[in-house]
Amino acid sequence: MAIRRWISTIDSHTAGHPTRVVTGGVPVLHGDSVAARRDDFRARFDPLRTFLLHEPRGHAAMVGVVMTESRVADFGAFFLGSYKYLEMCGHATIGLAVTLDHMGLIGPSDQPESRFTLEVPAGIITVSVTRVGGAVAAVTFENVPAHVAAADVPLAAGGVSVSADVVWGGNWYGLIEAAAAGVELTPNGVLHAMATGAALKARLNALIREGGVAGASEPIDSILFYETQFDEKGVVSRQLVVLESNKFDRSPCGTGSSARLAQLVARGVIGLDQPIRTRNILGVDFSATARAIEGRAGAIQPHIVGLAHITGEHRFTLADSDPLPDGFLCR
């Protein structure tokens, strides 16, 4: 059987959500920045994205990472989604850090900590890998600044009437209280959450396009449903991010957690340097802390802590006779 394409990857999951880091098979990319090389990849090699992320080799929730050189950071990377390219992805950054450690690219395993800078399309972030007994115990990344663009936007769609905050956390989010939308933050509530979230996302983006949301001009990428809880350790934000009608984030979501921090600080629920836990529907937590940014009133610097686990190393091939060379997705 003749093979006309191969791509190697290392896969991981971060609190349940997959990351597929490409380690070989991508042609040389052109551009002076990671964003420019991402654009070059999108223009010339987008079928590689669908080949890797869509069925039968992936699924709607799969996220990919393409490494590339950087002139301003230790590493460069851009993020592939099943439907679009992402400016930033927190869970995939954590997965990438664990993958780089697995490959021995960020220092010997007997070091208690390794730090590196990473250029992504959204900007430059700092990543720290903490080890205990030679194994990665935590990954911390200092995300791009987060801020609230619009608060208490009235929204009616999907059979519910709610209010949404529009917040940047590396991607754009509409933050909506889960109970107000009739969304249950459990595995059994996912199908309803995706249908409701997709309807609310479409309506909010229509309002933004029409100029009906003061302070917001860019379309949101996702809806984040949340519930605020308090225990003896502080604030717990239980949350579920809906990206599409058939796609949700299994992790607590790194950029979503960044947006949630900005919202909680803006509403006075938490203060700067006060850590919270963001918890997914599987009961796995990230730790998230908002730090001040000098000269940036109204914006916060999110610090997100989580962990990923390697799930496999793969070499994907495409045979000449394959009737679905670019993969497929069914909504």
Same domain, 161 and 124: no
Q: How far apart are CA 262 and CA 275, in angstroms?
A: 12
User: Which CA distances in Å does 137 have to 104, 112, 134, 303, 308?
Assistant: 16, 10, 9, 16, 9
Which of 94, 253, 261, 270 is an active site residue?
253
Same domain, 168 and 281: yes
Same domain, 62 and 179: no
Same domain, 37 and 168: no
In a domain, 250, yes or no: yes
Domain that holds residue 51: 3-130+310-319
Same domain, 126 and 151: no
In a domain, 218, yes or no: yes
Spell out the per-residue pLDDT of the chain, length 331, in tens: 556 788 999 999 999 999 999 999 999 999 999 999 999 999 999 999 999 999 999 999 999 999 999 999 999 999 999 999 999 999 999 999 999 999 999 988 889 999 999 999 999 999 999 999 999 999 999 999 999 999 999 999 999 999 999 999 999 999 999 999 999 999 999 999 999 999 999 999 999 999 999 999 999 999 999 999 999 999 999 999 999 999 999 999 999 999 999 999 999 999 999 999 999 999 999 999 999 998 888 899 999 999 999 999 999 999 888 999 999 998 8
Q: What is the DSSP letter of 55?
A: B
Type of residue numbered 1: M
Same domain, 33 and 112: yes
Give me the residues paired with residue 310 across strands.
Answer: 12
In a domain, 330, yes or no: no
Same domain, 103 and 163: no
In a domain, 136, yes or no: no
Indicate if 253 belongs to the active site: yes
Q: Where residue 154 sits, what CATH number does that domain have? A: 3.10.310.10
Same domain, 275 and 195: yes
Q: How far apart are CA 152 and CA 308, in angstroms?
A: 34
Same domain, 220 and 255: yes
In angstroms, what is the C-alpha Rg of the chain?
A: 19
Q: How many CB atoms lie within 10 A of CB 164?
A: 28
Tokens of 194: 């995706």
The label of the residue with tokens 């249908």 reads: 195
Q: How far apart are CA 120 and CA 34, in angstroms?
A: 6
Q: How far apart are CA 218 and CA 220, in angstroms?
A: 6
In a domain, 162, yes or no: yes
Indicate if 330 belongs to the active site: no
Cα 144 from chain centre: 13
Domains: count for the chain: 2
Parallel, antiparallel, or unpaired: how do β-strands 308-319 and 146-157 relate?
unpaired
Same domain, 282 and 176: yes
Which of 61, 73, 80, 89 is an active site residue?
89
Coil/strand/helix, residue 28: coil
Q: How far apart are CA 309 and CA 11, in angstroms?
A: 9
Q: How many CB atoms lie within 10 A of CB 5?
A: 15
Contact 299, 21 (CB under 8 A): no
User: Which CA distances in Å does 239 have to 25, 176, 184, 225, 265?
Assistant: 36, 10, 10, 5, 17
In a domain, 328, yes or no: no
Determine the length of the chain.
Answer: 331
As separate numbers, helices (DSSP H) first and strands (DSSP E) second, the chain gives: 4, 18
Same domain, 230 and 314: no
Same domain, 31 and 166: no
In a domain, 80, yes or no: yes
In a domain, 325, yes or no: no
